[in-house]
Amino acid sequence: NGHHVEAMRLLADIGMKFNAYDEAEFLLESCKVLEPDNVSAHFDYVKVLRKRQKFELALSEASELREKEPGNPEFEMLYANENLAVGNFDEAMLIYEALLGSMPNNPGINLTYGHALKTVGRQDDAISAYRRAYQVRPDCGDAYWSLANLKTYRFDDSEIAQMRERQASPMTALDDRYHLCFALGKALEDRGEHSASFEYYELGNRLKREELKYNPSRLSNEMQLQRELVTTDLLDKFSGAGCPARDPIFIVGLPRAGSTLLEQILASHSQVEGTMELPNIFALAFRLDRQRVVGEAPEYPGNLADLTHEDVTRFGEEFIRDTQIYRKGGTPFFIDKMPNNFRHIGLINMILPNAKIIDARRGAMGCCFSGFKQLFAEGQEFTYGLEEVGQYYTDYVQLMDHWDNVLPGKILRVRYEEVVADLETQVRRLLDYCGLPFEEACLNFHQNERAVRTASSEQVRQPIFKSGVDQWENFSEFLDPLRKKLGPELAAT
């Protein structure tokens, strides 16, 4: 029964659970063709498009689905979420507010509305929305974590007591438990109770790590292949090819290394627009790798040598075209702040040889521990263990050293600690590298009212402060596994 739509939906659902998003997308796209009026299959199709980070297509499909059943709250919510994903904040807000008008005590809507409010800088309103979510559902771990993730919110005694109780309850779901653990870790850290704080951070990371089944050797192997196969000879072969556009500025590095701060500084310039962590480079790398079974040797980056000059030029032109939806300001330059793009700098240079690339670097201990105590909305699986994040940092430094060797002078390295110590000097370095004139607004980046999606959103709306640089030292006695994995040279940076 090759065209049994419900069986195809179920198979796609299994694929989603195993992260086989390409197969799930194909199945659900086929369901839509076979039964155009099957709204359940259409709904699942939008969700898999979002997982594949095909945000523009997901919005189009969500709009079409919404028209099939006007007023359906689930479809309205989906449409609002897809508008939020592409930066249509006003449209998303109107829908969230309309939904809350009819369902004011829905925790999920309050939570998502809070995320949107946080993104556009309405912190007090976001706090109110998050509180409503946990008041309606007291074990809503994501609501507590969202408050903690503002980085500026301070929990009172009653909130901490409630979080402890819900985290310890056998009735609390796993997802809520690790959200509560990370929230408690932050709440107790803010109170100076570092031993108790670390216990919750460690438990939250362990619960998340067990859920993910992360294999650190896979990413290490991928980065080793980049070092072995993306050579000077390969890059020289494509000299003169690629799309000549100068629009993109890539900010790469590890999460929690100061990339959002650099983005906010540059996006405060009149000629530069900050967008988001764009999925396009990763999507291209995925396409080049092609579908393969688990355990089969990857085709990418080895197959880069098989590309033609026409191929890499087309890929660059597609990047410029497909990222247009995220550009609202009409500026000549825009930022792609996907940190993990550092794994594909060779590919970026081939398809966009005139793009600027900035490596946001932070000292190893501070960067790794900051990642360890951060619960990410999605991805960054390497952060949920001290040894795992230490290994990833080591691989990152080795790969960045490789890019410096094969692309000398291409990448500007900016250290977070140096930005904090001497803002103006580093701002001028950034602007000189990007070929931009100095503007005072870049020093006053905290006054920029642009939407910020990352965990640092509230921090970059404040002037530079130095208190966050060495926070890891409060937990130093617990971090020997990280030191050992990094080695003495990196651990001292």
Question: pLDDT digits over 11-33, tens only?
Answer: 999 988 877 888 899 999 999 99
Q: What is the CATH number of the domain that holds 228?
A: 3.40.50.300
Cα atoms found within 13 Å of the Cα of residue 80, Cβ hemisphere only? 24
What the block records as the tokens of 463 is 């002037």
What the block records as the tokens of 97 is 């507010």
323 with 452, same domain: the answer is yes
- Which pLDDT value is given to residue 148? 97
> Among residues 162, 181, 213, which one ends one of the domains?
213
> Among residues 174, 197, 213, which one ends one of the domains?
213
Q: Which residues of the chain have pLDDT under 70?
A: 291-295, 448-469
- Which pLDDT value is given to residue 276? 86
- Which pLDDT value is given to residue 290? 73
- Which pLDDT value is given to residue 54? 87
CA 306 to chain centroid, in Å, comes to 31
Peptide bond into 301 cis (omega under 30): yes
Strand arrangement of the beta sheet that strand 356-361 belongs to: 272-276, 333-336, 248-253, 356-361, 411-415
Nearest to 284 by CA among 266, 307, 258: 307
231 with 265, same domain: the answer is yes
pLDDT per residue over 141-171, tens digit each? Answer: 999 999 999 999 999 999 999 999 999 999 9
Q: Assess if residue 316 is contained within a domain.
A: yes
- Which pLDDT value is given to residue 493? 85
- Which pLDDT value is given to residue 120? 87
Separation of alpha carbons 251 and 362, rounded Å:
13
276 with 293, same domain: the answer is yes
- Which pLDDT value is given to residue 59? 95
- Which pLDDT value is given to residue 234? 97
Q: Assess if residue 161 is contained within a domain.
A: yes
Separation of alpha carbons 154 and 37, rounded Å:
48
- Which pLDDT value is given to residue 287? 87
> Among residues 180, 213, 246, which one ends one of the domains?
213
Q: Does residue 362 contact residue 417 with C-beta atoms inside 8 Å?
A: yes
230 with 365, same domain: the answer is yes
Q: Does residue 38 contact residue 32 with C-beta atoms inside 8 Å?
A: yes
- Which pLDDT value is given to residue 452? 56
Q: Assess if residue 70 is contained within a domain.
A: no
Q: Assess if residue 255 is contained within a domain.
A: yes
Global pTM value? 0.86
165 with 249, same domain: the answer is no
- Which pLDDT value is given to residue 372? 97
Which domain range does residue 173 map to?
A: 141-213
230 with 151, same domain: the answer is no
- Which pLDDT value is given to residue 333? 97
267 with 302, same domain: the answer is yes
3-state SS, 286-346, equals: HHHHCCCCCCCCCCCCHHHHHCCHHHHHHHHHHHHHHCHHHCCCCCCEEEECCHHHHHHHH
408 with 464, same domain: the answer is yes
- Which pLDDT value is given to residue 137? 96
205 with 172, same domain: the answer is yes
378 with 249, same domain: the answer is yes
269 with 341, same domain: the answer is yes
187 with 230, same domain: the answer is no
Number of domains forming the structure of the chain? 2
3-state secondary structure of 94: helix
Q: Assess if residue 474 is contained within a domain.
A: yes
- Which pLDDT value is given to residue 462? 58
